[in-house]
Amino acid sequence: MVGSSESVVVVIGSGAMGVAAGRRLAAGRLVLLADRSAERLDEAAGRLSAEGHRVQTVGVDVGDGAGIAAVADASRRLGRLAALVHTAGISPTQARRS
């Protein structure tokens, strides 16, 4: 069930590419940043918030199914998915099999 009619942009990876994607897609939308690094999440959220964007964060490791499920759940609670951008650097050898 969708939490609200809020339009949500999910950006996985909060490095320079993630911030750029969030900035580009944020107009009129809530940005949900996801990353496993709390430090990078805080820095990226601070940058986007300082520019006037609405931002929420979720600390997850998207290398496993539980992390992916946590991002999906957070997005669902916040509103309607408008876009999903995956900028986190992960390779098949980094992903854990469940």
What is the biggest distance separating any 2 CA atoms in the chain, rounded to whole angstroms? 39
In a domain, 94, yes or no: no
Calpha distance 17→11 (Å, rounded): 10
* Domain membership of residue 60 as a residue range: 7-84
In a domain, 67, yes or no: yes
Q: Estimate to the nearest angstrom the gap between the alpha carbon of 11 and the chain centroid.
A: 3
Calpha distance 58→76 (Å, rounded): 13
Q: How high is the pLDDT of residue 36? A: 92
Q: How high is the pLDDT of residue 64? A: 84
Chain segment 56-81, per-residue pLDDT in tens? 999 998 888 899 999 999 999 999 99
In a domain, 91, yes or no: no
Calpha distance 16→6 (Å, rounded): 25
Domain count, the chain: 1
* 95 has a pLDDT exceeding 70: no
* 9 has a pLDDT exceeding 60: yes
3-state secondary structure of 91: coil
More confident residue, 41 or 1: 41
In a domain, 79, yes or no: yes
Chain segment 18-49, per-residue pLDDT in tens? 999 999 999 999 999 999 999 999 999 999 99
In a domain, 56, yes or no: yes
* 2 has a pLDDT exceeding 60: no
In a domain, 38, yes or no: yes
Find the CATH number of the domain harbouring 74. 3.40.50.720
